[in-house]
């Protein structure tokens, strides 16, 4: 039996010897620093001939990096977030970098301890925080103080010195208003998420402005807050809503989860959707298509938002600079939960 010696993988010292230059010269070349044209040519030729490939670990160490980014969300099981994560992973697949994931409500209560450890112990090269809230202020301040590049996606409030990725929620609200008015709806109700949420506020502003442009008032007594983004909050709101005759022919809920909870209670109450009441949500999750009837919604490009946030984070890691806001348009997806307003309601509103 013939035993073949194991071929040694070329390292930076072998490349330097083959090219006839110092190891420090090869290191400067690999890190993008100045090397003479002649030395650069010899090093490039040696790398090609020897088949040298630099490990991502060595590169990260030379740049003082950990080779990992942190991604933070309330719950990694959120359908909205799973699509966002797909975009982040897509962007990461093109880079020598790993991902560390933290759900701040993993134990059922808010606990960002692990993320504070990432920041204080320099375990990550940057942070992506999805749907940050007021309670995340201390965490964001900590990251900014540590000069850790940070990107917020669809934050519930803005923060200084961090990058932002969000959607044009005002225009989305206007699109909903136009859709409903064209169907003959003149009395519309709106149910938002948390009262402090920017997305919820901007969707309301867009809806109100869109209706006003058509000569219709969004009546103050038909504006509600569900207190959270969860389906159970939408169901609880529906129970309260149907205790009184509101006169609305359409209800706009600030996200698809709220809409799904509302619709479940509406069905139990004998409300026919959309014959008696049209329903609109926001986010455009695929789950909305599986509701009965399928939910009309304004879709966010979640995968694209994740990729953009990750790409922007690496830009700031490589070249710290100006704070940017990346804003995506949203798209109205008309399904079966909206239809022409019932004639009786239209005649009363007109009278």
Q: Which single residue is written with the structure tokens 């909206």?
A: 338
Domain membership flag for residue 223: yes
In a domain, 321, yes or no: yes
pLDDT at 16: 86
Number of domains in the chain: 3
In a domain, 5, yes or no: no
Percent above pLDDT 70 for the chain: 90
Q: What is the pTM of this model?
A: 0.78
DSSP letter at 154 equals S
**Confidence check: pLDDT of 12 > 80:** no
Strand order in the sheet with 188-192: 223-225, 188-192, 250-253, 278-283, 296-299, 331-333
Does the pLDDT at position 241 exceed 80? yes
The pLDDT of residue 65 is: 56
- Do both 137 and 253 map to the same domain? no
Q: What percent of the chain has pLDDT over 90?
A: 67
Do 219 and 276 lie in one domain? The reply is: yes
**Could you tell me the pLDDT band of residue 55, with boundaries at 50, 70 and 90?**
low
Whether 104 is in a domain gets the answer yes
Residue 344 shares a structural domain with residue 234: yes
Same domain, 338 and 220: yes
173 assigned to some structural domain: yes
Tell me, yes or no, whether 269 and 342 share the same domain: yes
Q: Which of 343, 316, 275, 272 is nearest to 162 (CA)?
A: 316
Q: Answer yes or no: is 21 within a domain.
A: yes
pLDDT confidence of residue 183: 98
What CATH number does the domain containing 144 carry?
3.40.50.2300
Domain holding 272, by residue range, is 169-300+333-350
> Does a structural domain hold residue 202?
yes
Predicted pLDDT at 54? 62
Assess whether 104 and 194 both reside in one domain: no
Q: Which of 22-26, 306-310, 338-342 has the lowest mean pLDDT?
A: 22-26
Same domain as 196, residue 141 = no
Q: Are 177 and 154 in contact (CB under 8 A)?
A: no
Token pair of 27 as six digits: 């290191």
Q: Is the pLDDT of residue 59 over 90?
A: no
Average pLDDT, the chain: 88
Tell me the pLDDT tens digit for each residue of 268-302. Answer: 999 999 999 999 999 999 999 999 999 999 999 99
Is the pLDDT at 24 greater than 70, yes or no? yes
pLDDT of residue 67: 84
Token look-up 């830009």 returns 315
Residues 81 and 149 in one domain: yes
Does residue 4 sit within a domain? no
- The predicted-structure confidence for 249-258, as pLDDT tens digits, reads as follows 999 999 999 9
pLDDT tens for 258-276 read: 999 999 999 999 999 999 9
Distances 159 to 129, 144, 150 between C-alpha atoms, Å? 12, 10, 11
Same domain, 176 and 113: no
- Compute the distance between CA of residue 271 and CA of residue 265 in angstroms, rounded to an integer: 9
Q: What is the CA radius of gyration of the chain?
A: 27
Q: Mark whether 207 and 125 lie in a shared domain.
A: no
Residue 303, Cβ density class (10 Å: 0-12 exposed, 13-18 middle, ≥19 buried): middle
161 & 173 share domain: no
Count Cβ atoms within 10 A of the Cβ of residue 65 and give its class: 0-12 exposed, 13-18 middle, 19 or more buried: middle
- 81 & 175 share domain: no
């Amino acid at each position: 039996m013939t035993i073949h010696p194991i071929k040694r993988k070329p390292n930076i010292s072998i490349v330097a010897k083959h090219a006839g230059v110092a190891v420090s010269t090869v290191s400067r070349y690999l890190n993008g620093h100045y090397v003479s044209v002649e030395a650069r040519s010899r090093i490039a030729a040696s790398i090609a001939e020897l088949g040298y490939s630099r490990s991502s670990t060595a590169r990260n160490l030379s740049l003082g990096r950990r080779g990992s980014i942190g991604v933070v969300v309330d719950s990694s099981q959120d359908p909205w977030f799973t699509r966002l994560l797909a975009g982040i992973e897509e962007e990461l697949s093109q880079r020598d970098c790993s991902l560390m994931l933290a759900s701040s409500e993993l134990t059922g209560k808010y606990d960002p301890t692990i993320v504070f450890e990432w920041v204080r112990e320099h375990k990550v090269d940057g942070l992506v925080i999805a749907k940050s809230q007021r309670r995340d202020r201390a965490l964001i301040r900590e990251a900014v103080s540590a000069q850790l590049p940070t990107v917020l996606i669809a934050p519930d409030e803005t923060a200084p010195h961090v990058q932002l990725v969000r959607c044009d929620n005002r225009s989305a609200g206007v699109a909903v208003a136009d859709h409903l008015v064209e169907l003959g709806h003149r009395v519309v109700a709106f149910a938002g998420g948390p009262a402090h949420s920017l997305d919820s506020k901007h969707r309301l502003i867009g809806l109100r402005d869109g209706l006003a442009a058509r000569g219709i008032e969004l009546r103050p007594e038909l504006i509600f807050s569900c207190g959270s983004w969860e389906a159970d909050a939408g169901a609880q709101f529906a129970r309260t809503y149907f205790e009184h005759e509101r006169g609305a022919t359409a209800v706009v809920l600030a996200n698809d989860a709220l809409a799904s909870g509302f619709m479940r209670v509406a069905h139990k109450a004998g409300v026919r959707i959309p014959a008696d009441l049209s329903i609109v949500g926001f986010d455009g999750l695929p789950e909305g298509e599986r509701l009965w009837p399928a939910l009309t919604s304004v879709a966010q490009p979640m995968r694209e938002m994740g990729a953009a946030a990750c790409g922007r984070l690496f830009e700031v890691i490589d070249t710290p600079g100006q704070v940017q806001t990346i804003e995506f348009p949203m798209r109205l997806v008309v399904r079966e939960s909206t239809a022409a307003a019932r004639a009786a309601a239209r005649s009363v509103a007109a009278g």
